[in-house]
Amino acid sequence: MKMQAMLGKPQPWVLPVTFVCLALGALIAIMIKASFGMPEIDPDARPAELRAHVLKLTSQMKDLENENQTLRDEKDQMIDSLAKGEQNIKLITDELDNLRLRSGTTPVEGRGIVITIDDTKMARTELPTLGDSPILTHDVDLLMLVNELRAAGAEAIAINDQRVVASTAIRCVGPVINVNNHQVGAPFIIKAIGKQDNLAGAINLPYGVLDQLKQLDIQASVVKRDKINLPAISRLAPYEESKVATKAPEENTNR
């Protein structure tokens, strides 16, 4: 048993130990990456440079906001003048279409994603005893999803063919969920029109909405579709209290 002899010619133990060492190295690498898995930040990430970048973007944003404001003023003026019948009627109908699209009073179609959410299988069989169990899909789950979709720039959303508009309420009513005062139940099919990658990315974010649902054993899937049809909202409650303001509210009124 001399070390020199062992070094000279290949020993029977070299290959197996090499193999296990390879596996061990791989396992350790996976372990380290998984435990400290946050995306690596460049250690010398040039704070000053980044700050300058932020400042530049902020000033750009301010410029764009100003431009947006002037354009909106121009548009209001044009609409005012149109209302006086000075220009052709097409711009009014365009504006009307735009507003209808945004308010959800007209059916829309376009590219987007479809999210399907179903209660866990366990909930189906044990539902009576579990009662208000966390493994059912709740109104807050849908609210979180809708919120996430809106944050990701969804242009139109519908839950089980109930269009989600500005005045839509989503709430638990006993075993079902009310959307627009219409009962909807599992499986929930949430269709959203918007930039597909943005929407799917926001929903599939690690530890995001879908991950939280999956942790509760709720079945969820996201599919991208090239053509999604969303219905119009069936009924909008009439506005009784709100009126169009005659003049813009003054700023800094809370002295």
Partner 1 sequence: MWLPILALIIGFVLFYLPHIQYRPDYTEYIGLAVVVGLDSLAGAVRSIIEGKFSDRIFISGFFSNTAIATLLLFLGNTLGIRNVAVAIMVALVIRIFNNLGFIRRYVVARLFEKRITAEKVFPEP
Residues 11-44 as b or e (16 or more Cβ within 10 Å = b): eeeeeeeeeeeeeeeeeeeeeeeeeeeeeeeeee
Q: Which parts of the chain are beta strand (E)?
A: 108-118, 156-159, 162-164, 170-173, 176-179, 182-184, 188-193, 219-230
Minimum CB distance to partner 1, residue 133 (Å): 18
Query: Which two tokens mark 8?
Result: 């000279």
Q: Determine the Cα–Cα distance for residues 105 and 111; give it in Å rounded to an integer.
A: 19
Indicate the residue among 6 and 99 with the shorter CB distance to partner 1.
6
Q: Tell the smallest beta-carbon distance from residue 201 to partner 1 (Å).
A: 14
Q: Which of 43, 174, 206, 238 binds partner 1 (CB under 8 A)?
A: 206
The answer to the question of residue 28 lying near partner 1 (CB under 8 A) is: yes
Please name which of 179, 153, 187, 162 lies closest in space to residue 107, comparing C-alpha atoms. Answer: 162
DSSP-derived pairing of the beta strands 176-179 and 170-173: antiparallel
Binder among 5, 39, 129, 247 for partner 1 (CB under 8 A): 39
Least gap, CB of 106 to partner 1 (angstroms): 42
| Tokens coding 63 | 């410029």
Q: Which is nearer to partner 1, 7 or 248 (CB)?
A: 7
Return the range that interacts with partner 1 (CB under 8 A); candidates 25-33, 100-108, 122-130, 226-234: 25-33
CB 169 within 8 A of CB 178: yes
Cβ 218 to partner 1 shortest distance, Å: 17
Choosing from 5, 9, 34, 140, the residue that interacts with partner 1 (CB under 8 A) is 34
Q: Applying CB under 8 A, does 31 fall inside the site for partner 1? A: yes
Work out how close the CB of 24 gets to partner 1 at its nearest, in angstroms, rounded to a whole number.
Answer: 4
For residue 172, give the nearest of 141, 201, 203 by alpha carbon: 141
Closest CA to 122 of 135, 131, 138: 135
66 to 105: interface string for partner 1, x by CB under 8 A: ----------------------------------------
Report the nearest approach of partner 1 to the CB of residue 196 (Å).
22
Our finding on whether 17 is near partner 1 (CB under 8 A) is yes
Rule CB under 8 A: which residues touch partner 1? 1, 6-7, 11-35, 37, 39, 206
